[in-house]
Every structure is written in structure tokens, then in C-alpha cells.
């Protein structure tokens, strides 16, 4: 196995490598994970793999659609697979450039006017921040979520008055389900919720910052809609088909035809304690994608087990790597460190197991994937080193490459994309692109 260890963009600082360039913002910026990889990285591998119009690129861990949006811009057929319903919705909307820009603005302005008028009858001015006394006075009329739904949110992730305004806006947008603008309007609200409306902060973990007494909900949403409309007016639909399946990436044969994929460009979750459903929890709940603990539990079951909050009793993906020496060594090292440090919480007891489940899930995914790849298909997997589990180093890219090789893939190299500072160890961790080729048999 040849390792290509030079950075792809050696003249840039590492922190700049993951930023979205201004020219790339149309569609990409409609809604984006803080942990997403950048469009220019997708372009680099499209060029490197020599992909052309008429060929098909798959992103089996689609997230918010970076790969398929970039493919659409270049006229290349893009297919995504995403288990998280909020992310699936976002990526699907981001490759839909059919709405008329002026119509989107007109429809949204009318919705905004209607909601502002309703708020005015309640004594609420969206553009004049309310005081704590105002909120106390208004509390009897403020709309809230049912307790079982509210309990799904991160505590204090949205304040009472902004929540009230948001629920009114959701109802107004949802009032016409046949509108050609409804889904884009909902996505604009999702973006505004994670910015000026909610109390969240990302750094890169999702957390809750100081509570806002009030927020200009309608104005913030309308700003996002108008930015989206400007993009729609400038985007040129290259007629490249794009589609996102709401499915489990470990079960690709259920949704992708046999021998139909020319390349894979993706970034799966890393083995760490990031619960990716928490990153989208606020908008997932308020837009109605998750409304119960049972739904949340079912959602997590369709994801690769990358954190202990998504591990269940019957999970058995670890059988796929039972004979992989390095993975078993890491799991033993994590468990030994846990015992040494006397860590006894339920989550800490799962650290070793989730490490094996993660790589087992990736092995299962790569094994299934072989059926849908055309001979000679190229693959790029963006992954990162991790030390989240009691500071035991996990070289994700190197391990993933060995798993792929055992499954018959040709490992072309491991490119260094960037380095980043570990919050646990304060060491520089490598973020890499594992480059593979499926020879076919």
C-alpha cells in the first residue's frame, strides 16, 4: 500500500482548508453541518478520478449534500444515501433548483406578512426585541411543544418567545403543502434556527450558549429565503439527475442498482463521542422530523455505530472485524485504560465495544458496496484520527485502508487533507482521504 502523505493544498493553513469559499456558497450554504467537508475537496477528487458527464458518483454518508451538490454543478449524476431525516431533507432540497426565485420571494413575503400580523394582534413585534418583562406578560399565550417532544431538545436550545414565533411560522409554511416553495422555505427556517433564532453554538461540538430573551424569527428566516432566491437565480441546472435515498449506508444494495456507480466521494462519521443526531436536534424536532424517543431510537439504529449513545443490545457489526488484530488491540487498550482510571459510567464501559462496532459497520458497508460498483470505480473516504476514548489513539484512515484491502479493494494511497488539534490530547490529529479502487472480478 502506497501512502501519499503530502497535503493536497500545501500553501494554505489547515484551518482554511475546510472553509467554504465564497464562490462555492450558492446551494452549499443553504444549510450545512459544521463538520462538513468543503466543496473544493470534492472537485479535487472528481478531477483526479477523471469523472465526466454521464457518470455516476455516490455519497453513501451524504450528510447535507456537499458531494451531490458539487456533482450537480459540474453536470455529473449524483446519488446520496443518508439515514438522518433532517440531513436527508436538506441534501434533497439543495439539489432542487426548480423553484422560481421571484415566486419563492413573493410567497415567503406573504407568509411573513401574515405571521407578523398575527403576532401584532398578540402584542408582539418581531423586529423590536422583547424584554424579560414582556415575555413574562406574554407567557400565558405562548405556544409550546408537548412535553414528550420538548424533552427531545437540548435544554434551553431555544427560548420561549422565539419558540412561539417559530411554531407560528412552521404552521404558516406548512399550511399549503402543495406549494412549490414549501420545502425551500422549511430549509431556510432550519438554517435560521441554528443561527440567529436558537441558542446553539458550534465549536465544533454542538452546545447551548446564553439564552436569548427574544430573536427576530420572521426577519431572520426571510433573510435566509432571500439568499436562497438569489442563488436560485444564478444557478444553472446542468440537467444532471440527483437523488438522495433515506436509507442505511450499510444496506446500499437495497437502494442502488448493481454495477451502477463509477465513483464514491464521502465522509463517514469518525469513531468518537459525537452524537450526530444532537447536531440537528433543534431543527429536526421543530420541523417535525423527530417527535418521540422511539423515532430517535429507530433513527440511530440505521446509522454506523460511531458513538456510545447509539449502541444497542443486539448490535453485532463487530463480528465483521473479529479477526482484525489492530482493532482488537485498540479495544483492549481502551478497556485497560478504563480500568486503570477507574472509569465506571455506562458510556465509558461501552468505549471498547463501540470502537469494534464502528469499524465492523464500516467493513459491512464496504462489503455491501462492492455489488453496486462498476469495475475500476474509484473511492475517496474522508476520515480523521481520533483519541476520544480515554486518549487511546485510533488511526482511522490506516485501519479503514486495511479493512478495504481485506475486502478486495486496491488501496491507492492515503492523502493528508489537513491536521487539527485534539481537544482531548492537544496533539495534532491527521484528517485524511483514503483513496481506493474497486478492480472488479
Q: What confidence tens digit (pLDDT) does each residue in 288-297 have?
A: 999 999 999 9
- Asked whether residue 326 is assigned to any structural domain, the reply reads yes
From CA 402, how far away is CA 324, in angstroms rounded?
A: 9
From CA 171, how far away is CA 122, in angstroms rounded?
A: 16
Q: Are 364 and 250 in contact (CB under 8 A)?
A: yes
Q: Examine the domain organization and report whether 247 and 392 are in the same domain.
A: yes
Residue 408's contacts (CB-CB under 8 Å, 6 or more residues apart) are 370, 438, 439, 441
| 52 — pLDDT class (breaks 50, 70, 90) | very high
pLDDT at 14 over 60: no
Q: Examine the domain organization and report whether 266 and 407 are in the same domain.
A: yes
| 240 — pLDDT class (breaks 50, 70, 90) | confident
Residue of 33 and 172 predicted with greater confidence:
172
Q: Which of 267, 246, 361 is nearest to 310 (CA)?
A: 361
pLDDT for the residue numbered 236: 80
- Asked whether residue 286 is assigned to any structural domain, the reply reads no
Q: Are 282 and 200 in contact (CB under 8 A)?
A: yes
Angle at which helices 182-192 and 101-121 cross, to 10°? 60
Residue 106's contacts (CB-CB under 8 Å, 6 or more residues apart) are none
| 4 — pLDDT class (breaks 50, 70, 90) | very low
| 421 — pLDDT class (breaks 50, 70, 90) | confident
pLDDT at 160 over 60: yes
Mean pLDDT of 113-125: 96
pLDDT for the residue numbered 425: 65
Mean pLDDT taken over the chain: 92
| 33 — pLDDT class (breaks 50, 70, 90) | confident
Q: Which of 261, 238, 241 is nearest to 51 (CA)?
A: 261
Q: Domain containing 134: what range?
A: 101-234
pLDDT for the residue numbered 34: 73
Q: Examine the domain organization and report whether 198 and 313 are in the same domain.
A: no
- Asked whether residue 278 is assigned to any structural domain, the reply reads no
Residue of 318 and 441 predicted with greater confidence:
318
Mean pLDDT of 130-151: 95
Q: Which of 174-183, 309-318, 424-433 has the lowest mean pLDDT?
A: 424-433
- Asked whether residue 290 is assigned to any structural domain, the reply reads no
pLDDT for the residue numbered 202: 82
Q: Which of 33, 103, 90 is nearest to 287 (CA)?
A: 90
The cell numbers describing 191, all together, are 438554517
Q: Which of 215, 234, 253 is the last residue of a domain?
A: 234
User: pLDDT tens, 247-282?
Assistant: 999 999 999 999 999 999 999 999 988 888 999 999
Q: Which of 239, 240, 290, 223 is nearest to 30 (CA)?
A: 223
Mean pLDDT of 34-48: 91
Mean pLDDT of 25-42: 90
User: pLDDT tens, 89-104?
Assistant: 999 999 999 999 999 9
Q: Examine the domain organization and report whether 264 and 410 are in the same domain.
A: yes
Q: Beta partners for 245?
A: 81
Which alpha helices (DSSP H) does 176-255 contain, by range? Answer: 182-192, 217-234
Q: Examine the domain organization and report whether 268 and 389 are in the same domain.
A: yes
Q: Beta partners for 438?
A: 377
Q: Examine the domain organization and report whether 230 and 160 are in the same domain.
A: yes
Apex 264 CA angle, 258 and 269, nearest 5: 115
pLDDT for the residue numbered 320: 98
Domain of residue 407, CATH code: 3.40.50.150
Q: Examine the domain organization and report whether 334 and 412 are in the same domain.
A: yes
- Asked whether residue 296 is assigned to any structural domain, the reply reads no
Strands 410-421 and 428-438: antiparallel
Q: Examine the domain organization and report whether 58 and 129 are in the same domain.
A: no
Q: Which of 205-214, 287-296, 339-348, 406-415 has the lowest mean pLDDT?
A: 205-214
Residue 353's contacts (CB-CB under 8 Å, 6 or more residues apart) are 311, 318, 331
User: What is the CB-side half-sphere exposure of residue 411 using CA atoms within 13 A?
Assistant: 21
Q: Which of 234, 252, 287 is the last residue of a domain?
A: 234
Mean pLDDT of 354-368: 98
Q: Examine the domain organization and report whether 267 and 118 are in the same domain.
A: no
Burial 79-88, CB ≥16 within 10 A → b, else e = bbbbbbbbbb
Number of domains in the chain: 2
pLDDT at 6 over 80: no
Q: Which of 234, 257, 292 is the last residue of a domain?
A: 234
Q: Examine the domain organization and report whether 120 and 77 are in the same domain.
A: no
pLDDT at 211 over 70: yes
Q: Return the percent helix, strand and coil in the chain, to nearest 5.
A: 50, 15, 40
| 167 — pLDDT class (breaks 50, 70, 90) | very high
Would you give the end-to-end CA distance of the chain in angstroms? Answer: 20
What percent of the chain has pLDDT above 90? 83
Contacts of the segment 400-404: beta carbons below 8 A, 24+ positions apart: 400/359, 400/362, 400/434, 401/1, 401/434, 401/436, 402/324, 402/326, 403/321, 403/324, 403/359, 403/362, 403/363, 403/366, 404/366, 404/434, 404/436
User: pLDDT tens, 186-204?
Assistant: 999 999 999 999 999 887 6
- Asked whether residue 293 is assigned to any structural domain, the reply reads no
pLDDT for the residue numbered 177: 81
Q: Are 143 and 168 in contact (CB under 8 A)?
A: yes
pLDDT at 3 over 90: no
pLDDT for the residue numbered 204: 67
Q: Examine the domain organization and report whether 242 and 389 are in the same domain.
A: yes
- Asked whether residue 295 is assigned to any structural domain, the reply reads no
- Asked whether residue 159 is assigned to any structural domain, the reply reads yes
pLDDT for the residue numbered 11: 38
**Cβ neighbours of 299 (radius 10 Å):** 18
Residue 295's contacts (CB-CB under 8 Å, 6 or more residues apart) are none
Q: Examine the domain organization and report whether 173 and 226 are in the same domain.
A: yes
Amino acid at each position: 500500500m502506497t501512502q501519499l502523505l503530502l497535503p493536497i493544498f500545501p500553501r494554505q493553513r489547515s484551518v482554511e482548508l475546510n472553509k467554504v469559499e465564497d464562490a462555492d456558497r450558492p446551494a452549499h450554504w443553504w444549510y450545512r453541518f459544521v463538520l462538513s467537508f468543503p466543496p473544493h475537496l470534492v472537485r479535487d477528487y472528481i478531477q483526479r478520478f477523471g469523472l465526466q458527464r454521464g457518470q455516476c458518483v455516490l455519497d453513501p454518508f451524504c450528510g447535507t449534500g456537499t458531494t451531490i451538490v458539487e456533482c450537480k454543478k459540474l453536470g455529473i449524476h449524483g446519488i446520496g444515501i443518508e439515514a438522518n431525516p433532517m440531513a436527508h431533507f436538506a441534501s434533497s432540497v439543495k439539489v432542487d433548483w426548480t423553484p422560481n426565485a421571484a415566486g419563492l420571494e413573493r410567497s415567503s413575503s406573504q407568509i411573513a406578512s401574515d405571521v407578523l400580523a398575527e403576532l401584532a394582534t398578540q402584542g408582539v413585534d418581531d423586529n423590536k426585541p422583547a424584554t424579560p418583562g414582556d415575555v413574562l406578560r406574554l407567557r400565558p399565550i405562548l405556544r409550546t411543544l408537548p412535553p414528550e417532544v420538548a424533552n427531545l431538545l437540548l435544554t434551553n436550545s431555544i427560548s420561549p418567545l422565539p419558540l412561539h414565533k417559530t411554531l407560528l411560522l412552521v404552521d404558516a409554511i406548512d399550511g399549503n403543502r402543495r406549494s412549490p416553495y414549501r420545502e425551500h422555505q422549511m430549509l431556510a427556517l432550519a438554517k435560521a434556527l441554528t443561527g440567529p433564532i436558537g441558542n446553539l453554538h458550534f465549536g465544533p461540538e454542538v452546545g447551548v450558549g446564553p439564552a436569548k430573551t427574544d430573536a427576530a424569527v420572521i426577519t431572520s428566516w426571510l433573510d435566509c429565503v432571500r439568499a436562497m432566491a438569489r442563488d436560485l437565480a444564478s444557478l444553472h441546472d446542468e440537467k444532471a439527475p440527483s437523488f438522495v435515498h433515506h436509507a442505511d449506508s450499510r444496506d446500499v444494495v437495497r437502494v442502488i442498482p448493481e454495477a451502477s456507480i463509477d465513483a464514491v466521494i464521502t465522509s463517514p462519521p469518525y469513531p468518537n463521542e459525537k452524537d450526530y443526531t444532537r447536531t440537528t436536534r433543534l431543527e429536526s424536532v421543530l420541523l417535525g422530523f423527530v417527535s418521540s424517543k422511539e423515532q430517535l431510537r429507530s433513527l440511530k439504529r440505521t446509522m454506523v455505530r460511531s458513538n456510545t449513545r447509539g449502541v444497542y443490545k443486539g448490535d453485532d457489526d463487530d463480528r465483521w472485524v473479529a479477526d482484525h488484530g489492530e482493532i482488537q488491540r485498540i479495544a483492549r487498550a481502551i478497556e485497560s485504560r478504563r480500568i486503570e482510571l477507574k472509569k465506571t459510567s455506562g458510556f465509558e464501559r461501552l468505549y471498547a465495544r463501540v470502537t469494534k462496532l464502528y469499524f465492523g459497520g464500516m467493513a459491512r458497508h464496504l462489503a455491501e458496496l462492492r455489488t453496486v460498483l462498476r469495475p475500476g470505480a474509484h473511492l475517496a473516504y474522508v476520515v480523521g484520527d481520533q483519541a476520544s476514548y480515554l486518549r487511546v489513539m485510533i488511526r482511522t484512515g490506516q485501519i479503514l485502508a486495511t479493512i478495504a484491502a481485506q475486502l478486495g479493494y486496491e488501496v491507492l494511497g492515503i492523502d493528508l487533507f489537513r491536521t487539527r488539534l485534539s481537544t482531548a490530547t492537544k496533539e495534532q490529529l491527521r484528517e485524511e482521504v483514503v483513496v481506493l479502487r474497486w478492480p472488479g472480478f
